[in-house]
Amino acid sequence: MRWSGVLHKNETGRPTALFMEQKMQQHDTLRVQNPDQTPLEFDQTANVDGGDTHRENLPEAQKSQSLPQENQSHLDIEKVGGRGVDETYASETIKKSSSTCSDINSPETNVEVLRSSRTSLFEKSKEDTPMENNDGDNLMALLDDPSRFPEGGTRAYLVLLGSCIGLTGVLSFTNSVGVFEGHISQMLPDTPLLTIGWIFSVNNFLLFGMTLILGPIFDHIGCKIPILVGTTLMTVGYMCMSVSTTTYQFILSYGILGGFGVAFTFGPFVAVLTHYFLKKRAMAIGLAYIGGALGGVIFPIMFRSLIPKIGFGWSVRIGSFISLSFLLTGWALVSDRHTEFQKDNPNSQLPVLTQILKSIDFKVFKNKTYSCLVLGLLGNGLAFLLAITYLPSYAIAFGFSPHKAYMLLVVFNACSIPGRVIPSLLADRYGRFNLVCCISLLSTLAFFVVWVNRPVAHTLTGLYVFAAWFGFSSGSILSLSPAAIGQIFKVEDIGAGIGTAFFIMSFGDLIGIPIGGAITNSRTGASFDHLVLFLALACLCGTTGSFVARWLYGGPKWVIV
């Protein structure tokens, strides 16, 4: 005998656990087809204690009553980001449950069939969920409802434009770190490179570490206030940097003030895109990151042109004013929808401090996929940061002029523009986890094929090849990884998920640059070769973590995830 289960859908066309629970109490229907294909229906609420519930024994009104076509279908839950409940699994569980039935006319058996199939179905969905769900009665609370995201339109694209312009100002100094490292090293020749490295490591530590705190703040008050606070801190910090002459002054101005400013602006400019894009999220974040790459092209050229003419101080002040104009323009264009998402977030009524403390919950690392993805982000991020910091100094150590050395940063950031766009566009079609693995592998190959290969790396042509290759391949690491993390969590938990990942990454940045400074402290070519080997191994570890995360999330077969 063949059983065909019929599950109801709600008004949106998508089944929910709460809806099905209500229908179980009211009037759930299970269609049974006998061997001669004559459809039979049973009413679970009629004569539950016993008796025949065959259609012939039903009242005439119920006999003639037919289910609306739009409210019945085999379970068909749309997959979001490669995750969902499979229709085949639903029908299989119904078949397995029905195989234990000895009497098709027993209403108790019919109720248990649907109840057991429903339980198995939702238990599978719950097991696939990486985080604990406080709203377990609602199946679709585990997934993002695509209807909540416009995926385009005037407002969404204005927000995308504002995010791109804002990130140009945010990352203008950050992506010019190689210029500052080289110039400050010349200003402070007696200061060890390890000590100078703390100037930039503190800045990057705050940039990524503060994301854990800013996630709940963004979810609670939106993006406008944090961006204004960050813009003020950045401007004051860079102005103080322009008059700094000692290591501790640079740490206070660029490292701490500038670091807090970048943190308060970077996170909201990226997170606001998650309110408007779901299926196109990777593309949107990648396009927004173009702004940071443009800043990394424009500002190094500007600084190298201005510093010999007007000095370091005025060059930094001019750059600060230009950065301020980008930040204010981006702030004017972006707008969030945090009040809309708060309605479905049970934590929205909690105080911000409580939300911050709740977000610092490392139980998320019980999810192996998330843990491996963070490991990949840590290794790749460390290689990216140290490469962009020490690439000019590497070239200078092998006898190339500062002008040619700093042009490596321009090539690096220019090639990262298509590197941010192309993988992001492909990610929404071929899978975000797949593209994270591909770009990680390309980055690792750039190290072992070019930069570790000393006869090639010691030539200017070889360095330009590496700058272009690694700039392209690493351009999407910081944009695709948050998109992949957002694929794991609900939209209400994205801020905390990304924040925790960047918080862990921040400790790698905190110790990474000083470690690089300690390795290259002798400022000889051999010491820089040792640094390159260290970065290649870090990138290899990151690639391994990315592939393991993809395997845990999507299985051994190469499918879209």
What string of H, E and C letters represents the secondary structure of 49-105?
Answer: CCCCCCHHHCCHHHHHCCCCHHHEECCCCCCECCECCCHHHHHHHHHHHHCCCCCCC
pLDDT at residue 415 is higher than 50: yes
C-alpha span between 391 and 300 (Å, rounded): 13
Mean pLDDT for 46-70 is 45
Q: What is the mean pLDDT of the chain?
A: 75
Lookup: tokens for 454: 């000393």
Q: For the chain, give every residue range classified as CATH 1.20.1250.20.
A: 146-554
**For residue 151, how many other CB atoms are within 10 A of its CB?**
13
pLDDT of residue 235: 96
Decide if pLDDT at 75 tops 70.
Answer: no
Per-residue confidence (pLDDT) for residue 143, from 0 to 100: 40
Of the candidate ranges 114-123, 236-245, 289-298, the one whose mean pLDDT is the lowest = 114-123
User: CB–CB of 449/540 below 8 Å?
Assistant: no
Question: Please, which pLDDT band fits residue 321 given cuts at 50, 70 and 90?
Answer: very high
Give the per-residue pLDDT at 130. Answer: 41
Model pLDDT, residue 349:
65
Would you list the DSSP string of 278-294? STTHHHHHHHHHHHHHH
Q: Is the pLDDT of residue 347 over 50?
A: yes
| pLDDT the model gives residue 247 | 93
Where is mean pLDDT largest: 17-26, 117-126, 235-244? 235-244
Mean pLDDT for the stretch of residues 25-30: 42
Tens-digit pLDDT profile for residues 203-238: 999 988 887 778 777 777 778 899 999 999 999 999
**pLDDT, mean of residues 247-257:** 95
d(CA 107, CA 445): 64
The two tokens of residue 478 are 């910081």
Q: What is the pLDDT of residue 106?
A: 44
In whole angstroms, give the CA distance from residue 547 to residue 532: 23
The pLDDT confidence band at residue 531, using thresholds 50, 70 and 90, is very high
User: Over the stretch 164-196, which tens digit does the pLDDT of each residue have?
Assistant: 999 999 999 988 888 898 889 889 988 998 899
CATH number of 146-554: 1.20.1250.20
Mean pLDDT of 306-327: 93
- What's the confidence (pLDDT) of residue 345? 62
d(CA 206, CA 186): 26
What percent of the chain has a predicted confidence (pLDDT) above 70? 68
The pLDDT, as a whole number, for residue 525 is 87
Most confident of 15-29, 154-168, 242-256, 469-483: 242-256
Q: Which has the minimum average pLDDT: 201-205, 245-249, 348-352, 440-444?
A: 348-352
CB of 198 within 8 A of CB of 255?
yes
